[in-house]
Amino acid sequence: MKTTTTTTLTLHFPLILFFFFLSISFPTPSFSQSDTYPILLNPRLGKAYIALQAFKHSITSDPNNFTGDWCGPHVCNYTAVYCTQALDDPDIYTVAGIDLNHANISGELPEDLGLLTDLALFHLNSNQFCGTLPESFADLKLLFELDFLDLRYNSFNGDVPKDVFNLKLDAFFINNNNFTFTLPDNIGNSPVSVLVAASNQLNGCLPRSLANMSKTLNEIVIQNSNLSSCIPPEYGELVNLTVFDVAFNSLVGPLPETFGKLKKLEQLDVAHNKLSGDIPESICELPRLKNFTFSYNYFCGESEKCSKIRRRDDRENCIPYRPDQRSEEECSAFLEKPVHCDAFSCMATSSPPPPPTPPPTAPPV
């Protein structure tokens, strides 16, 4: 995809030069978000024009006419486009944000969006975009940091490029789409504080590498995503976590004892999975836990201390002497099949390295 972006730049290089000379020859426009600062055209805004025109032409329906004024080279005057001073050169302006939330727009995202290398905010929440995410999204890391990627409530499908998880994002929202992919191992490289990928088809495991995000991660919401593995005990290292929601999946095995270390946890929802074993008492002793939902699983026991949690739902489990539990026959049929977490490829313990090759024997004299 880098070849595609390079080809695009080559084809449009004369146009970029044209914008540069425009900045010398023509009066400057006023900034649409603030009339205080006049904005000179420059090569970065020339590339932004190419990207935004490609974006506009990929839109098939814009019922509220958000992009109706996306004409001409003065992109900072476009509705929903935000410009600011470039971080590496305060004497020039560049496109730093696009906010099309709730615009009800239909269409696809073109590869040319990778030309917006200064983009720090990209909101497309609650539209009807479809197709796959451009591979060129990975190019948004070349200059500065994309802070907030919001693609919620659209119809995007296919894979999410692995390199997106290497971006220096602060928040990552892709929930309620039709993405079909497996959370990659490099997700642990992401410094996000909020990860919301619910209501997609992730079709795989919760990767151990999520535990590498312990310094920044505050919220994980990956419910209704067809996850099928055990919950890695390493997640007990996510000491800044306040929300952990993996409800409506097919997760199995126990709720890790290590979750007792999550002293900042406020909401824990593991309902509608196939988890089993006892609820660790240390989880019910967490000082900030206000909402603990573990209904519709196969848990066999819980501490009396769990009853002190303000909002707790333990229905449809296999807990003796608790109301609204599964039948004994249903519990026995499920619990007689042991769960082996190592059977999941993402949970398997690494094999020991093979023994060293013995040195060759000396040839006979």
Q: Give CA separation, 151 vs 63, 92, 220, 355, in Å.
A: 19, 29, 16, 49
Closest CA to 39 of 73, 2, 4: 73
Angle at 348 between CA 220 and CA 244, to 5 degrees: 15
| pLDDT tens-digit profile, the chain (365 residues) | 444 444 444 444 444 443 444 333 333 333 344 443 456 789 999 999 999 999 999 999 999 999 999 999 999 999 999 999 988 899 899 999 999 999 999 999 999 998 998 888 888 999 999 999 888 877 775 434 457 778 899 999 999 888 888 888 888 899 999 999 999 999 999 999 999 999 999 988 999 999 999 999 999 999 999 999 999 999 999 999 999 999 999 999 999 999 999 999 999 999 999 999 999 999 999 999 999 999 999 999 999 999 999 899 999 999 999 999 999 999 999 999 888 888 876 654 443 434 444 444 544 54
User: For residues 225-244, b (16+ Cβ closer than 10 Å) or e, as one string?
Assistant: bebbbbbbbbbbbbebbbbb
Contacts of 37 (CB under 8 A, 6+ apart): 30, 31, 93
- 62: Cβ–Cβ under 8 A, 6 or more apart, which residues? 68, 103, 105, 106
Domains of the chain: 2-343 (3.80.10.10)
The pLDDT value recorded for residue 57 is 96
Name the residue among 38, 135, 55, 142 with its Cα closest to residue 98: 55
State both tokens at 2.
């880098």
Distance CA 338, CA 315 (A): 22
Tell me the whole-structure pTM to 2 decimals.
Answer: 0.75
- Which residues, including other chains, have CB under 8 Å from residue 43's CB and lie 6 or more apart? 16, 17, 19, 20
pLDDT reported for residue 139: 72
The 3-class secondary structure across 191-255, one letter per residue, is: CCCEEECCCCECCECCCHHHHHHCCCCCEEECCCCCECCECCHHHHHCCCCCEEECCCCCCEECC
Distance CA 295, CA 298 (A): 9
> What does the pLDDT read at residue 345?
66
Q: Is residue 308 classed exposed, middle or buried when 0-12, 13-18 and 19+ CB atoms within 10 A define those classes?
A: exposed
> Look-up: residue for tokens 């109706």?
68
By three-state DSSP, how is residue 50 classified?
A: helix
**Secondary structure (DSSP) of 139-191:** GGGSSS---EEE--SSEEEE---GGGGGS--SEEE--SSEEB----GGGGG--
- Alpha-carbon distance 69 to 224, whole Å? 39
Closest CA to 150 of 180, 120, 188, 178: 120
